[in-house]
Amino acid sequence: MKRFSELPAWLRWSLYAAVGVLLLTVVQTLEGTDRLTSVTSSQSMLRWAIPILLAGLGGLYSERAGVVNIGLEGMMILGTWFGAWGAITYGAWWGIVAGIVGGALGGLLHAVATVTFGVDHIISGVAVNILAPGITRFLSSEILTNIPGGSITQSPRVPGVGSATIPFLAGGTIGNWTTPDLFGWLGTQKWFFISNFANLLKGVMTRVSWVTVIALLLVPLSAWLLWRTRFGLRLRICGERPEAGEAQGVDVYRYKYIGVVISGALAGMAGAFIASPELSGIYLEGQTTGRGFIGLAALIFGNWRPIGVIGGALLFGYPFGIGLRDLDGSASHALILVNAIGLAAVAIWAFTRSKRTDTVLALVLSGIFALWYITTDVVPDVWINILPFVIVLLVLIFFAQRLRPPAADGLSYRKGQT
């Protein structure tokens, strides 16, 4: 019987997911709602998770190459503008491409500042975040105002790329034939846990935008690229021990550039997705609402591995997905209980590792959430807004010391420093 930590990553994360679904099912039964595991919630979760996922993957490439990129937010902002403009002017797919290019340009700027000029990574990232909204505002005033329906702060409606539904499992169509809908059927059976899981799965397979599909495929692609190819090995050495790379003939500057530009490109793609009909449907100033930072948090939560990033993205996207449709607040309220139970689990875990302070801390926090749940019926809607950030903080508080960033992440590198 292998130890849990030795199981392959995808299996471990699937188990986490299963436990999570179980938890949600239990809690929603207590609360008396079905919204935590409904099909629409799941669809929503996926939609909200994608920009976080793309931003997180972007951060992955950059940080694995040793450059901290907190300018993801700014690059995402560039992506929203270019994505909207590109789609309106040339068509939906061109919008995505334009968003990628826009973000990549932001990445290039960050790369030049940090890699060539050795500016501190955080400072350069902050500068990009300051610059980006200014650029988009300027571009809007020059270009969007000349398009009917556009203004300095928003654009007209953005066309979207198509979507698909997976056949057989979720009742998608092949040609003109509507296939049977396995998960849909399972979902209606009201079988505890199984139906809930089925609903969630159906949600992520129904009317899924092609961009989403690409984004999801990027996860295994990135894992393969970074760990199984020559490119990936060389990129990773730049983030772990650039001097070793240099000594063995790797052009460290080049790989850092590539990593950062890719990160900008992915953040830009995230922005284009936000502007697309999947989420907003228009370019709107300020629409990124910190999701670049949440992507960064997903990266940290995922311990700088692709499978972890998507785990984090789904985790953080979930509250957003729930919140918007939760008109009576029951789901938001239920999530408090989820927090309480989650923290209790952390307490148990800490106890088994004989970490006294952690156990006590987790129990206290769990108790606070439990108390909050019991003493209220509704919760202010701002709770949903801040839930992802709270979760990130909680994860960091308990697990920061077990995370393993790339060893040379954030360090200024200059050739020939040995």
Partner 1 sequence: MALAIELIDITKRFPGVVANDHVELKVEEGEIHAVCGENGAGKSTLMKVLYGMLQADEGTMKVFGREVRFASPTEAINAGIGMVHQHFMLADQLTVLENVILGAEPVRTLGLIDFDEARAHLKTVAEAYGLFIDPDDLVEELEVGERQRVEIIKVLYRGAKILILDEPTAVLVPQEVEELFRNMRDLKKDGSTILFIDHKLDEVLAIADTITVLRQGRTVSTVKPNEVTAHDLAELMVGSELPTPATTESTVTSEVALEVSGLTIIDEDERVLVDDVSFRVRRGEVLGIAGVEGNGQTELIEAMVGISPAARGTITLNGRDITRAPVRQRREQGIGYIPQDRQREGLLLPAPLWENAALGHQTQPPFSRGPWIDRKGARRRTEAIKEEFDVRAPDVDVPAHALSGGNQQKLIVGREMMAEPSVLLAAHPTRGIDVGAQAAVWEDIKAARRAGLATVLVSADLDELIGLSDTIVVMLRGRIVATLDPATVTPRDLGAFMTGAKSAGAA
Partner 2 sequence: MSSIVLVLSGSSPLRAFADMFEHASRLETMVDILNRATPLYIAGVAAAIGFRMNLFNIGVEGQYLLAAIVAAHLGAMVTLTPVLHVTFIMLVAVAVGAAYSGFAGVLKVTRGVNEVISTIMLNAIAISGLVAYLIRIWQAGGAIDPGTVQRVGTAPIPKSGLLPDLNVIVESLTRELRQGKTLTGVLLVAIVVGIGYHVLVNRTRFGFDLRASGVNPFAASVGGVPPKRMVVIAMALSGGVAGLVGLTEVMLTGYFAANPIRGLGFTGIAVALLGRNHPVGIVFAALIFAFLDVSSGVLQFTGAASREIVVIMQGVIILAAVVAYEIARRAREKEEAHAAAEAMVAA
Residues that bind partner 1 (CB under 8 A): 228-231, 233-234, 236-237, 240-241, 243-250, 404, 406-407, 416, 418
- In angstroms, what is the minimal distance from the CB of 126 to partner 2? 6
Q: Smallest distance from the beta carbon of 143 to partner 2, in angstroms?
A: 10
297 touches 312 (CB < 8 A): yes
Distances (CA, A) of 72 to 82, 182, 219: 15, 39, 18
Interface region with partner 2, contact rule CB under 8 A, candidates 4-12, 180-188, 191-199, 295-303: 295-303
How far apart are CB 256 and partner 1 at their closest, in Å? 15
Q: What is the distance, to the nearest Å, from the Cα of residue 341 to the centroid of all Cα atoms in its chain?
A: 24
End-to-end CA distance of the chain: 46
Q: Which residue has the tokens 């793309």?
A: 54
Please give the size of the binding site for partner 2, defined by CB under 8 A.
47
* Angle at CA of residue 65, ends 64 and 70, nearest 5°: 75
SS3 assignment, position 284: strand
The stretch among 136-144, 174-182, 231-239, 265-273 that binds partner 2 (CB under 8 A) is 136-144
Instruction: Render 94-115 in DSSP notation, one character per residue.
Output: HHHHHHHHHHHHHHHHHHIIII
Task: Output 9 or 284, the one with its CB closest to partner 1.
Answer: 9
Which residues in 351-390 contact partner 2 (CB under 8 A)? 380-383, 385-386, 389-390
Spatial contact of 270 and 104, defined as CB atoms under 8 Å apart: no
Whole-angstrom distance, CA of residue 370 vs CA of residue 339:
8
Residue 293 near partner 2 by CB under 8 A: yes
CA triple 409-413-416, angle to 5 deg: 140
Q: What minimum distance in Å lies between the beta carbon of 363 and partner 1?
A: 24
CA pseudo-torsion sign 66, 67, 69, 75: negative
Which one of residues 72, 223, 267, 297 is an interface residue with partner 2 (CB under 8 A)?
Answer: 297
Query: CB 195 → partner 2: shortest distance, Å?
Result: 34
Instruction: State which H helix or E strand residue 143 sits in.
Output: none
Instruction: Assess 411 for contact with partner 2 (CB under 8 A).
Output: no
Shortest approach of partner 2 to residue 133 CB, angstroms? Answer: 7
Q: Print the binding letters for residues 239-278 with partner 2: x by CB under 8 A, - otherwise.
A: ----------------------------------------
Q: How far apart are CA 44 and CA 39, in angstroms?
A: 9
Answer with the entry of partner 1, partner 2, none that 416 interacts with (C-beta below 5 to 8 A by kind).
Answer: partner 1
Determine if 126 is a binding residue for partner 2 (CB under 8 A). Answer: yes
Q: Give whole-number Cα distances, 130 to 74, 75, 138, 144, 292, in Å.
A: 7, 11, 13, 21, 14
List binders of partner 2 among 23-82 (CB under 8 A): 70
Q: How far is the CB of 86 from partner 2 (least distance, A)?
A: 19
Residue 242 CB, nearest distance to partner 2 (Å)?
18
Relative to beta strand 163-164, strand 208-209 is antiparallel
* Interface with partner 2 (CB under 8 A): 70, 109, 113, 117-120, 122-124, 126-135, 137-138, 140-142, 152, 289-290, 293, 296-297, 300, 380-383, 385-386, 389-390, 392-393, 396-398, 400-401
